[in-house]
Amino acid sequence: MGAVLLKLSVVIPTLNEEECIGQVMDELSSALDGNVEHEIIIVDGMSRDRTREIALAKGAVVVEEPRRGYGRAYKTGFANAKGEIIATLDGDCTYPADSIIPLMEILENEDLEFITTDRFGHMEEGAMSDMHKIGNLALSFTTRLLFGRIIRDSQSGMWVFRREALSKVRVEDDGMPFSEEIKIEAFRKLRSKEVMIHYRRRVGEVKLSSWQDGWKNFRFLWKKRFRGPRDKSLRT
């Protein structure tokens, strides 16, 4: 007998998010319980605080991933997901859990395969530093320039997509560039759309390095644009 599929899997990468993971879990419960059959998968990068314990107590499936990297965490989460539809968000209270159901409805009603989100239209004051805003806009512009895809927010970490879409894209990077790479692949190969959401101030430690991560993303974009294709599907 094959594995039982749920309607929705929510995948969240975490690293030392004890300050907010409980609130994220509560918001997901409020938004999803009674509305859709679902699971919440926390992919934890070996947190040194109580992130895993809090998530488990709130009903999440916790997968430990000792290999570092934003993309690596998502690949592990996707490999463990049982849902027909997969949604992603962060464990720092920035993304709106109550947008998942409306985004799923858009996915279904418009027969889409992949939805990414745009944080810039409804961004709470102080939710993103000026440095991050400038870097994000520069990366989004470079993505449009190199790949001809109009993506307003290439670094957004909230997506809703059909599980089967993973077999149609080639996403290789294990680090922060995973976020822009999955969008490039989706807008190349899938029926995709970008939808505006509300973006809030994060709770807890900021883990991004504006210069270091930004430079890695720029290098990745140029490398992906001018190298030849490798595998056809997302590696796990």
Residues whose CB falls within 8 Å of the CB of residue 107, separated by 6 or more in sequence, listed in order: 85, 113, 115, 160, 161, 162
Per-residue pLDDT at 11 exceeds 90:
yes
CA quadruple 218, 138, 130, 16: dihedral sign: negative
Are 102 and 94 in contact by the 8 Å Cβ rule? The answer is: no
How confident is the model at residue 229, as a pLDDT?
A: 52
- What are the two backbone dihedrals, phi and then psi, of residue 183, each rounded to the nearest 5 degrees? -70, -45
Per-residue pLDDT at 212 exceeds 80:
no
Distance CA 31, CA 33 (A): 6
How confident is the model over 224-234, as pLDDT tens digits?
A: 888 755 544 56
Domain extent listing, the chain:
6-226
How confident is the model at residue 4, as a pLDDT?
A: 47
Segment (H or E) for 68: none
Task: Please name the CATH architecture into which domain 6-226 falls.
Answer: Alpha-Beta Complex (3.90)
Please give the full DSSP string across 125-169, using - where no structure is assigned: TTSS-HHHHHHHHHHHHHHHHHH----S-TT---EEEEGGGGGG-
Among the listed residues 177, 33, 181, 44, the one whose alpha carbon sits nearest the alpha carbon of residue 114: 181
How confident is the model at residue 208, as a pLDDT?
A: 57
Residue 122 has which token pair?
């409804």
How confident is the model over 63-83, as pLDDT tens digits?
A: 999 999 999 999 999 999 999
How confident is the model at residue 207, as a pLDDT?
A: 60
Are 119 and 156 in contact by the 8 Å Cβ rule? The answer is: yes
